[in-house]
Amino acid sequence: MRRILTVVLCLTCISGLASGRTTLDIPKDKIGTHVLLGSRIVHVNRPCGKIYADGQRNHRPVLMTMDTDSCGNLVLRHTGYTTPEGYTLRVRGHHPKDVVLPIVRENARYYTVDVSDYFSTYPEDISAIPPKMLKGPAKSHTILGKQRTEEYLLVKADYTYENGLEVTANCYILFLKQTPSKVRIMDKEKVGYSYAEYRDSCSKRTGLSLRWDFSNGRKLDFYVDKKFPAEWYPYIKEGIEDWNKAFIAIGVGPVVEVHPEPEDRHFERFAPLVNMVRYMDVDEHNAKGDVMFDPRSGEILQGDILWWKDALKLLCDWRYIQTGAADGMARLKEYPIEVIGPMIRHAICHEMGHVLGLSHNMGASWAYPADSLLSRTFTAEYGTAASVMDYARYNHLATAADFESGVSLMPPRLGPYDYYAIAMGYAPEGEAKAGKYCYYAPFISAAISPDPSAQPESLGNDLLRSSMAGIRNCKLLLQLDGLDQERTRLISRQYYRYIMLALSNIGGVLNDKPVGRRLRRRTVRFAMEALYNVPPEIADEHSQQGVLKELEGNFLPPRVLENNGVWGLRNYQRQVKKLKKKYSFN
């Protein structure tokens, strides 16, 4: 376990300065080096969904160079960076002003700088709360304390604003190592990694893949927030440490260890470099893997898994709607820990993949033949998708008879793609070999994906079959007694969702070729029949108009549907724009 040294100094005991002034000791050997200037929320009295809450960072730390000027000040200057490979850091979002801190004292090792004025208001350039929410400068502030370690300097302060918002924040200066880690650029057609964006000398964009540096036997300690129920801890620990299997497979060995949050009062859970699964006590259905990285190289320096308190309800909704027709346990009003635990483990494993640098792979479910997902032996070994980084979730293709015969309804722990992705990012370059199911397609932010293989929630390599199975399940669930209003709304929403997913077939491009005319016809027929035969108890005019709008506006001209209905596609050849890049293996 990495030892975290925290030194808390009483502000009223700062000798040589007026009462209430706050100073920091800056090591002289750090002058001329790069630092990260950032902050994290410790507490906010009015949290706002996914935007800001206790423990969130939200704003990327700013890369600065530490220097002195001729007027006796220490200056943090915003800086770019050019890698040895010739890539230049592309500054995103804003260009912060220089930070000028008066030097009030010095000795052989340190400059002592006065930071009282700088932290008299929450610095906008590093604020973890959007400045527009603060409504101007702070009405009042109190600096609560400071910390110093060999790795960072930290100031903790309270801010109160005219609109009643009260924020406690940790603002920090994080020292970066003088020689950045070696960069690695991934082949974006084969594997998905998050990246720090750079430009080369010709202004062509590229990305330095985000990765941890596990050289020299370095380990990653991850703490689990004590706010989580104790019975969740084994599943959270398992979901994180599952990734050790992929690192063992490439000879790196286990790299991550999970621990309960220490009871030691000196443990600073909001320190810049503490890695933690954080329980976000805010009404929000979400979980997120979040990292802080060195923008010079893409080296990940710290990671969090943020778990909002309604995330479990979202998992339970998915489990019910996708497997309730096959598994009676999924229809319970309250799930026991034996059902909840594996769902938590899978969600945590997915978010830990983001912490390790991986992005989504929406093609992992497409990698499996649809028929294989009805095989007991196949699903026992491979789960529902070739990666936990997909949104495939649970096996909605399986019927009750399939489930009784032993077909698994659960996603994988780690899939074949996950082992390959870790090898691509962390094994010596050139050693990673793609296996049979290592298909990759990126997350596409569109109502209807132009690539049928890049789909959230669908299963198998037959998009239409996946949606038809989903519609079947929705109708079966409606036949059950005792449906409450909430679950009826859930079935209604998912019913129309399955229709929308299938529409990728109509104008989509797969393997650089437009989807065939016959499949397009079948898909339009499926969509129209599903709309006209929607069970009355889940019929929703707004959702129906949404589907028709997509059909009329994006795929078929109104005259086709008005005059010829589902058969109009026979005489209509839609011009399809090919994707600029195709994410698959040759």
Domain presence at residue 6: no
390 and 509 fall within a common domain: no
Question: Is residue 186 pLDDT above 90, yes or no?
Answer: no
pLDDT tens digits, residue range 224-261? 999 999 999 999 999 999 999 999 999 999 999 999 99
314 and 415 co-located in one domain: yes
With the C-alpha atoms ordered 162, 165, 166, 170, is the resulting torsion angle positive or negative?
Answer: negative
Say if 111 falls within a structural domain.
Answer: yes
Spatial contact of 425 and 193, defined as CB atoms under 8 Å apart: yes
Residue 358 gets which letter from DSSP? B
Q: Give the CATH number of the domain where residue 218 resides.
A: 3.40.390
Instruction: Give pLDDT, residue 582.
Output: 29
Q: Are residues 127 and 192 in the same domain?
A: no
352 and 209 housed in the same domain: yes
- Residue 213's Cβ-side half-sphere holds a number of Cα atoms within 13 Å equal to 14
Position 449 pLDDT exceeds 90: no
177, 196, 221 - which closes a domain: 177
**Residues contacting residue 547 through CB under 8 Å, at least 6 positions apart:** 496, 499, 500, 503, 527, 531
Domain boundary, last residue among 118, 151, 177: 177
- Decide if pLDDT at 161 tops 60: yes
Tell me the three state secondary structure of residue 420: helix
Task: Report if residue 539 sits inside a domain.
Answer: yes
User: How far is C-alpha 11 from the chain's CA centre?
Assistant: 38
482 lies in some domain: yes
DSSP element (H, E) containing 271: none
- Whether 438 maps to a domain, the answer reads no
**Domain range enclosing 365:** 186-419
For residue 3, is pLDDT > 50? no
* Average pLDDT value for residue range 535-547: 87
The CA distance from 260 to 262, in Å, is 6
Last residue of a domain, one of 177, 204, 226: 177
- Number of C-alpha atoms within 13 angstroms, CB side, residue 307? 24
Q: Is residue 584 predicted with pLDDT exceeding 60?
A: no
Residues 213, 126, single domain; the answer is: no
**Is there a single domain that holds both residue 352 and residue 453?**
no
| Inter-CA distances, 405 with 275, 393, 400, 402, 483, Å | 42, 20, 9, 5, 27
Q: Which two tokens stand for residue 468?
A: 């038809």
How far, rounded to the nearest angstrom, does the alpha carbon of residue 241 sit from its chain's CA centroid?
18
Q: 193 and 168 share a domain?
A: no
Q: Which of 92, 88, 63 shows the shortest CA–CA distance to 76?
A: 63
**Between residues 581 and 227, which one has the greater pLDDT?**
227
Q: How far apart are CA 129 and CA 41, in angstroms?
A: 8
Pairing outcome for strands 220-224 and 276-280: parallel
What tokens does 23 get? 């100073």
* 56-109 residue pLDDT tens: 987 789 999 999 998 999 999 987 788 777 778 765 555 678 899 999 999 999
Tally the domains of the chain: 3
Residue 173 sits in the same domain as residue 190: no
Q: Burial, 538: exposed, middle or buried (Cβ in 10 Å; 0-12, 13-18, 19+)?
A: buried
Closest CA to 383 of 353, 344, 416, 348: 416
Helix (H) or strand (E) holding 425: helix 416-426
Say yes or no: 305 and 194 in one domain.
yes
Domain check: are 395 and 460 in the same one?
no
Q: What angle do CA 199, 449, 291 make, to 5 degrees?
A: 45
Percent of the chain with pLDDT over 70: 89
pLDDT band at 404; cut points 50, 70, 90 = very high
Of residues 311 and 139, more confidence is placed in 311
More confident residue, 209 or 6: 209
**pLDDT digit string, tens, across residues 484-511:** 899 999 999 999 999 999 998 887 888 8
Query: What's the burial of 229, exposed, middle or buried (CB within 10 Å: 0-12/13-18/19+)?
Result: exposed
Q: Are residues 471 and 501 in the same domain?
A: yes
Position 385 in a domain? yes
| Lowest-confidence segment of 21-30, 130-139, 208-217, 466-475 by average pLDDT | 130-139
| Cα–Cα distance measured from residue 152 to residue 116, given in angstroms and rounded to the nearest whole number | 18
Residue 516, pLDDT > 90, answer no
3-state secondary structure labels for all residues of 85-142: CCCEECCCCCCCCCEEEEEEEECCCEEEEECCCHHHCCCHHHCCCCHHHHCCCCCEEE
Do 326 and 470 belong to one domain?
no
Instruction: Report pLDDT for 4.
Output: 36
Average pLDDT over residues 145-155: 92
| pLDDT one-digit tens code per residue, 324-375 | 999 999 999 999 999 999 999 999 999 999 999 999 999 999 999 999 999 9
Nearest to 228 by CA among 190, 258, 198: 258
- The average confidence (pLDDT) of the chain is 86
> Which pLDDT belongs to residue 7?
33
Q: Return the closest-CA partner of residue 451 out of 521, 531, 378, 362.
A: 362
Instruction: Please give the pLDDT value at position 201.
Output: 62
Overall residue count recorded for the chain in this entry: 586
Residue of 494, 495, 520, 498 whose CA lies nearest to 507: 520
In a domain, 411, yes or no: yes
CA 45 – CA 166 distance, rounded (Å): 6
Tell whether 247 is covered by a domain: yes
